[in-house]
Amino acid sequence: MTRTPSERARAIVLLSGGLDSTLAISMMLDQGIEVLTLNFASPFCTCSPRKAGGCHLASEVARQLGVEIRVVSKGMDYLRVVERPRFGRGRGLNPCIDCRIFMLRKAAALMEEVGASFVVTGEVLGQRPMSQHRAALELIERESGLAGRLLRPLSAHLLDPTIPEREGVVRRDLFLSIQGRAREVQLALARKRGVDVFGCPSGGCLLTDPIIARRMQDVFGHCPDWDLRDAKMTTFGRHFRLHDHLKVILGRDEGENARLFDLAGPLPRVEFVAEPGPSAILRGVTSDNDLATVGHLLRSFAKKATAPEVELRLRDGDREIAWRAKERATFEEVARWTI
């Protein structure tokens, strides 16, 4: 199949930065397909380094392969899918099928926008128990609006031929029949192709983590005005619910304190005045009794604060309150409050 540059078929390829999507791009390039990659930035992704902005690794993969990348942030529209998925969740709060549909609908819209003729993913039949068995793959393809135009080259021989395969836009015989959760075939293929820039071979989602799932359920259940920053804050620090109307988030170290303050914006914050210790963000309504309890909680994590009493300060917009804390919260209290 030979095409002039003006006749080259164009495809949208979902790129996480992981091994499978990287190989899928490489396979498209081998067939002369013009590739536009689409990366989704999420606070819950564990594949690309979150400290580097989430899409850093995907951008590096795109640069190494010489393809264009567009980055889409999963914002409030995505979080509403997490809150109320149509097709259920996995063991945690992970709406895997709805998540795939969400991303592929975005890809389908981009496909129309840029004149691409199909969408490609690195999905492997049987690799993920919820979203990559045959029935789920078919459901996702249908609900995304990409029936016949969603190509999964790593498992193509185990699936029905797509329109670009039937029309000869791509050669089906050059695709593979990988299935299951093992990655040996993909790693061998990466070595053969000289592909050495990719993320963790089996990246995942923090919504499968029981702790993160509990924290997000707490957000949905107790914060009627929740937003994207609440989701981002669930992924680090220590979280405590003192009562239905007040949550406290503590940084574990200086770096997390800075991240909390950066994300929290105008939310009230509590700091030690003179002694070393964690900082806290308050999400909700506080009373004087609540502040006393917050002081006891912070003292219990301030191992280096050895004075008999410590002074703490609340900053809430123009309001500033200082108070002293002597007691530490008990182990049982901390356990009861922990989200």
Number of H helices, E strands in the chain: 12, 11
* Residue 112, domain member (yes or no): yes
Per-residue pLDDT at 117: 97
**Beta strands in 6-148, from DSSP E residues, in sequence order:** 10-14, 34-41, 68-73, 118-120
- Do 96 and 195 reside in the same domain of the chain? yes
Q: What's the rounded Cα separation, in Å, for the pair 42 and 53?
A: 10
Same domain membership, residue 186 and residue 71: yes
In a domain, 229, yes or no: no
Q: Is the dihedral of CA 295, 267, 227, 103 positive or negative?
A: negative
Any residues with CB less than 8 A from the CB of 45 and at least 6 apart, and which?
16, 54, 203, 205, 206
For residue 218, being part of any structural domain is answered with: no
Is position 220 within any domain? no
Number of domains, the chain? 2
User: What range does the domain containing 87 cover?
Assistant: 5-205
Looking at the fold, whether 33 and 150 belong to one and the same domain comes out as: yes
138 and 69 assigned to the same domain: yes
Same domain, 189 and 258: no
Q: What's the gap between Cα 54 and its chain centre?
A: 8
Task: Please report the pLDDT score of residue 296 as a whole number.
Answer: 96
pLDDT of residue 55: 58
Measured between its terminal Cα atoms, the distance across the chain in Å is 57
> In tens digits, what is the pLDDT along the chain, a chain of 339 residues?
444 444 689 999 999 988 999 999 999 999 999 999 999 999 898 765 444 444 578 999 999 999 999 999 999 999 999 999 999 999 899 999 999 999 999 999 999 999 999 999 999 999 999 999 999 999 999 999 999 999 999 999 999 999 999 999 999 999 999 999 999 999 999 999 888 877 665 557 899 999 999 999 999 999 999 999 999 999 999 999 999 999 999 999 989 999 999 999 999 999 999 988 999 999 998 899 999 999 999 999 998 888 999 999 999 999 999 999 999 999 999 999 999
188 and 312 fall within a common domain: no
In a domain, 225, yes or no: no
User: Domain for residue 210, yes or no?
Assistant: no
Pairing of strands 150-151, 118-120: parallel
